[in-house]
Amino acid sequence: MLAGCTPWPPETALRYREQGIWRGETLGTVLRAAAREYGSATALVHGERRISYRELDDWADRLAAGFVEHGVRADDRIVVQLPNVPEFVAISFALMRIGAKLVFSLPAHRETEIGHLVELSGATGYVLPETHRGFDHREIARTVQAGSSTLRSLFVLGDKSEGFTALSELENAVADPRPLPEPDPSDVAFFLLSGGTTALPKLIPRTHDDYVYQAGRAAEVCELTSADTYLAVLPIEFNFAYGCPGVIGTLMTGGTAVLADTPNPLDCFPLVERHRATVTAMVPSIVQLWLEAAEWSGEDLGSLRLVQVGGARMTREFTERIGPTLGCSLQQVFGMAEGLLTFSRPGDPAEAVLTTQGRPISEADEVRIVDGDGAELPPGAVGELITRGPYTLRGYYGVPEYNRRAFTADGFYRTGDLARLTEDGDLVIEGRIKEMIIRGGDKVSAGEVEDHLLALDGIAAAAVIGVPDPFLGERICAYLVPDGPDGPDGPDGPGGARRSLPELKQAVHARGVADYKLPDAVRYVSELPLTPLGKVDKKALAAAAASEQEG
């Protein structure tokens, strides 16, 4: 396994292999096998483009050869930031076939995040779109490259230009690509990003063995077959849409994955109708848009049979509307980039589907609810969810100190989520210990936003909390202590100690961070409440926010 990653203990790995959980296959060979079996069937659809299994397999080989020709080697880390386009899928298989490690970044990430990922992973390459939603990503690439000692190659989806290699050049670089040596299935295939409880995201190594298992098992639980059409609504860099079962699980079962440009119902409903989509996955805030749009839209959504919803909490009033309004079954999903997935099952009692996040997808998943001392709690009691299993990481990349706190001595990952188990063994997520805000399904680390705020002039202290929001689930509220009693230039002076919300957003935006992390509200206070241990008392801030909302 790549240095800096934590392998499973040898006896555990042996058990997973003996039980046939880990099949010793790489994601590259899985695509090869699918191409043999489903050859001319449609693997991917985007706009007017249709790509068959055989074409996708050949394309990945040509790209792999092109990347090698360009100097990409096994173990090189490559940051990939692309929208939902077929190139994303082909490139991910190409790099995995070489044994290069992809680092998945989100389309919304800007130079701060990309710079951090390049630095953290020691990336030698960055794959980017020329422009996406009016934003020129080449600017990011130039800035990040100038500040990096490792970033050699910039691969752009678009035209060749000074300093950039066009992906189209790569796929034609080698006339007759030869098969490459197979990477080790127990090694890292790619890195996913942690939702971030610490100031900056951590890298989650996912191996071929673990991910082939996860995507295949998720596909089984969803009863996917070659007759299914999966609509990828969320960004496919997101684990949920990539492999839960997502695009990868669909390709493993011979179905068709349709790539949507945005999750907006105006884009997605015509795709459901046109391609007779049967399965999709969304976060609650997007489902809400779909529910509203379904009331008046003329499109036929009758093909949908299963909608997976997860990533943030949902109320019963909300889950109740999904099945009847969209005319399909609801599947609740609790998931995380770190691994563990729990799904409600199509045949579960209606009440369980509406009110729980279901059961782990694997019999080999070990799930415990523990109290503050690590003692296991009985069903019904709320405590921290800890877990280990065949597709849950054993350590973040390159942070041994942090790992000592994030995992128990016997390898359970401390999720930072508060949960309980029902008598039937279903999981119910009740809250969070970790300082993470889930804004419409996007995970925002409070610490990261606080660091950006503190870096601005005129702010002496900053605390960021999530406050309830009817649409987004939570929105970001910043409590700021201005520098000096009223800031250097008075309360509203040009020093900007008390920036208005738009000014504050603009100032954070200017630091080159993803827009979903910008504060939605700001409150100026003379001091932050502290706990007896001297930490910022976020519970007190949440209570203040709640009473303000009531008032």
Give contact residues for ligand OOB (rule: CB under 6 A). 195, 239-240, 244, 310-313, 333-337, 357, 415, 417, 429, 432, 438, 443
Max CA separation in the chain (angstroms): 71
Q: To the nearest whole angstrom, how small is the minimum distance from the Cβ of residue 116 to ligand OOB?
A: 17
Q: Is 236 within 8 Å of 246 (Cβ atoms)?
A: yes
User: Which residues are CB-neighbours of 272 under 8 A, at least 6 positions away?
Assistant: 231, 280, 299, 300, 301, 303, 304
> Could you tell me which of 115, 26, 131, 155 has the C-alpha nearest to residue 83?
131
Nearer to ligand OOB, 92 or 357 (CB): 357
Which amino acid type is present at position 104? F
- Of the candidates 268, 322, 263, 270, which has an alpha carbon nearest to the alpha carbon of residue 300? 270
Q: Which two tokens stand for residue 76?
A: 């090189």
Whose Cβ is closer to ligand OOB: residue 93's or residue 242's?
242
3-state secondary structure of 189: strand
- In this chain, which residue has its C-beta nearest to ligand OOB? 335
**Which tokens sit at 360?**
């782990």
SS3 532: coil
Rounded to the nearest whole angstrom, what is the least distance from the CB of residue 313 to ligand OOB in the complex? 4
Rounded to a whole number of angstroms, the minimum distance from the CB of residue 185 to ligand OOB is 22
Q: Which is nearer to ligand OOB, 253 or 357 (CB)?
A: 357
Chain Cα centroid distance, residue 406: 19
Torsion region of 193: left, alpha or beta (phi above 0 gives left; psi -120 to 50 gives alpha):
beta
Return the number of the residue (57 or 384) whose C-beta is nearest ligand OOB.
384
Compute the CA torsion angle 536, 541, 543, 549 (nearest 10 deg).
-170
CA distance linking residue 87 with residue 82, whole number of Å: 8
- Least distance in angstroms from the C-beta of 360 to ligand OOB: 13
CB of 435 to ligand OOB, least distance (A): 11
Give whole-number Cα distances, 335 to 86, 156, 191, 226, 340, in Å: 25, 31, 16, 25, 6
Query: Based on CB atoms, which residue is closest to ligand OOB, 102 or 333?
Result: 333
By C-beta, is 158 or 416 nearer to ligand OOB? 416
Q: What is the token pair recorded at 523?
A: 């409150």
Distance CA 243, CA 218 (A): 8
Based on CB atoms, which residue is closest to ligand OOB, 125 or 243? 243
Amino acid, res. 441? G
Shortest approach of ligand OOB to residue 98 CB, angstroms?
26
Smallest distance, ligand OOB to C-beta of residue 455, A: 25
- Minimum distance, C-beta of residue 331 to ligand OOB, in the bound complex (Å): 10
How far, in Å, CA of 179 to CA of 95, rounded?
13
Q: Where are the beta strands (DSSP E) in 265-409?
A: 279-282, 306-310, 329-336, 339-343, 359-360, 366-370, 383-388
By C-beta, is 335 or 519 nearer to ligand OOB? 335
Nearest residue (CB) to ligand OOB, 53 versus 334: 334
